[in-house]
Amino acid sequence: MKAYEIFQNLDDKLANEIIGYFRVESRDIYKATVTSLATQRKLRAAFVQKKPGADQIAWVVKTLKLKMADTVGEHLLQVWLLKEQKDMLIRFVGDLGIEHDDDGGVENLPETIEADKLKAAIDHLLEESPANVVTLYLRVFQIQQPGGWPAIAEALETDGRLKLG
C-alpha cells in the first residue's frame, strides 16, 4: 500500500490529527506541504492559506489521497511517526532485534522478519498504542523496503486488529 492509499483508508480523525500536528508544531513543513500540493494541483498556495485552519487541513488531507501526492504523503507520515510516535518505533524495532539509534532510526533494514517475533512485537505495540496508529506504522514501515516483508504483509491481511479506518 502506497502513502496515498494509506491516506485513502485512514480514518479522518487520525489524518486530521497528523496534518494538524504539522500546522501547529512544524509550520515550515506545513507551509512546504501546502505549497507543494497546491503547485501539483496547479493552484497558488495562497488559495489554500486563505481558508480557515480546519478547511486547510481538510484540503491537505483530501489532496494527500491523490496518487500524485504519494511522495509528499509518505514524507509526512514518516516525519509524524518519528516525532510523535518515537517510543512505539523504538519498541517495535527493539522487539524485532533490529539495531537502531536512540530515535528509532535504522540504517540497515533486515531482509527477513521472523513471523513469531513480529507477532510478539505487534501484540506488545497494541497493548500500549491505538490499533489504527500501530497499523499506520506497520503500513509505513512496510513501504521502507521494495516489496516489503512477507510476514508484515500477512499480519496486515490476517490480523483483524490491524485496520486503518
Please state the length of the chain: 165
Q: What are the structural domain ranges in the chain?
A: 3-84, 86-158
Interatomic CA distance for residues 162 and 113, integer angstroms = 18
pLDDT confidence of residue 109: 87
Residue pLDDT, tens place only, 96-146: 988 888 877 788 888 899 999 999 999 999 999 999 999 999 999 999 889
pTM: 0.90
pLDDT confidence of residue 113: 92
The burial class, CB within 10 Å (0-12 / 13-18 / 19+), for 87 is exposed
What would the mean pLDDT of 2-26 be, rounded to a whole number? 95
Residue pLDDT, tens place only, 37-63: 999 999 898 989 999 999 999 999 999
Closest CA to 157 of 120, 115, 106: 115
pLDDT confidence of residue 148: 92
Q: For residue 84, name the pLDDT band (cuts at 50, 70, 90).
A: very high
Taking only Cα atoms into account, the Rg of the chain, rounded to an integer number of angstroms, comes to: 16
pLDDT confidence of residue 161: 94
What are 78's three cell numbers? 514518516
Interatomic CA distance for residues 71 and 129, integer angstroms = 26
Interatomic CA distance for residues 61 and 7, integer angstroms = 7
Residue 45's identity, in one-letter code, is A
